Structure 1
Amino acid sequence: MPTNIASVDDKLKIPEHIAIIMDGNGRWAQAQGKGRVAGHKAGVNSVRAVVKGARKAGVKALTLFAFSSENWQRPEQEVSVLMDLFMYVLTKEVKRLHKNNICFKVIGDLSRFSDKLQKSIRKSEQLTADNTELVLSVAANYGGRWDITNAAKQLATQVQDNEISLDDITENSLNEHTCLAKLPPLDLLIRTGGDYRISNFLLWQAAYAEFYFTEVLWPDFDEKAFEKAIEVFDQRERRFGKTGEQVK
């Protein structure tokens, strides 16, 4: 059984930035004889659990993959419910986040969302902008390739406008134009639901992240499951290109 992070956080290596691919909502619902939508609603409880776990552990940034740019291909009814659920979270859950000193952000191409939803996103971000306990980023209509392409376009525009030269384009300058540029580097990428891929999520940021895959479906991923992922991270040797001997 996982130990209580709150009592050992001075011993464990705690990731500064954790990202999660929240997978398995539909399969969880189907296994219980319910529609896929029920799984998405149940998944909100897991979001609450990991946010609580992240705050308790001292994680500085938590990024959740809520809706990819490819998810528009899903059945229209499911997409509609996801949008409604997103709106609910923005109007209800954000107040709780603000009360707990959590900064809320949405990353991705928001232009495809309704004006009402975009307005609600901006309002939620403004409300929590000065909070310092944790940065919770929700990736919506997000894709890793889009993120890199968007950053490249911004640099190309600067070159075209003679603001920078080609020699000014570096890994660091490109990184500065990605969605999570102001956050600590990604340390741990978790995927629930049993699949072993990152599905176009944080491609740039995941370059040196540790990966943790679990069979647990997202609605069953509770605070203890989150603690277990951090314990596994604590056992990893992160070499960043060096030898094990150099790191030790």
Structure 2
Amino acid sequence: MKVLVVIPARYASTRYPGKPLVELRGATGEARSLIQRSWDAAQGVTGVDRVAVATDDDRIKSAAEAFGAEVVMTSADCQNGTERCAEALDKLGGGYDIVVNLQGDAPLTPAWFIEDLVAGLSAHPVAEVATPVLRCDGRALNGLLNDRRQGRVGGTTAVFGADHNALFFSKEVIPYTGQEFDDADETPVFHHVGVYAYRPSALAAYPRWASGPLEHLEGLEQLRFLERGAHMLCVEVEARGRQFWELNNPQDVPKIEAMLAEMGHF
């Protein structure tokens, strides 16, 4: 089985322009860009045959090539990371069984999240796409709720059926609980980890589909698959004591730096 990891990155983020080049400091105080830390995360994954950064911006290209990344230049017309991954796969050629989209704003993604994701998709031949979900403890859930109270879009949450087939994803905190949780409590809310594993056929079909109303309203690319009836598998992953957070807003920088320091990452 051949696995390709693509890290899509664009400069013109609506919420945080220039986000891939934002520098993050870790345990030693050394600063590395967000895109480099995402690249570093991909290098730690076993069973991967190739890793490439996909971008439409020369600044990101130059920065990525400077730390040794392979870069694929893609169109500025790509509407999201999945479309960018589809174009990157087309340019890199076929021969891959699974394509992983490791979004460039998730440098805290542990290697086992991606390894479990690939294993999950491999074990479910009916599934066309797979994505990880992480059960929130009280600390993580309270962080999500606090972001919404402050008018910020933080992490995405997921709900799925008994067969782990995805039902919906939202930037709101779903399902509603109406309870208070202490930091260490287990909660019924699942944080969607912004990583995807695709069958190449599903990835190739995606750009041909028009964006539907749910994708438009939520601003979540994976909803295009659900609106088209695609089978998306939610793979539950374990934190193993690690905190996970994506860089969505400038306010997330100190939070992620603190988590990097806690992990002992450079």
TM-score normalised to structure 1 length: 0.28
Higher strand share: 2
Q: Which has the larger radius of gyration?
A: 1
TM-score normalised to structure 2 length: 0.27
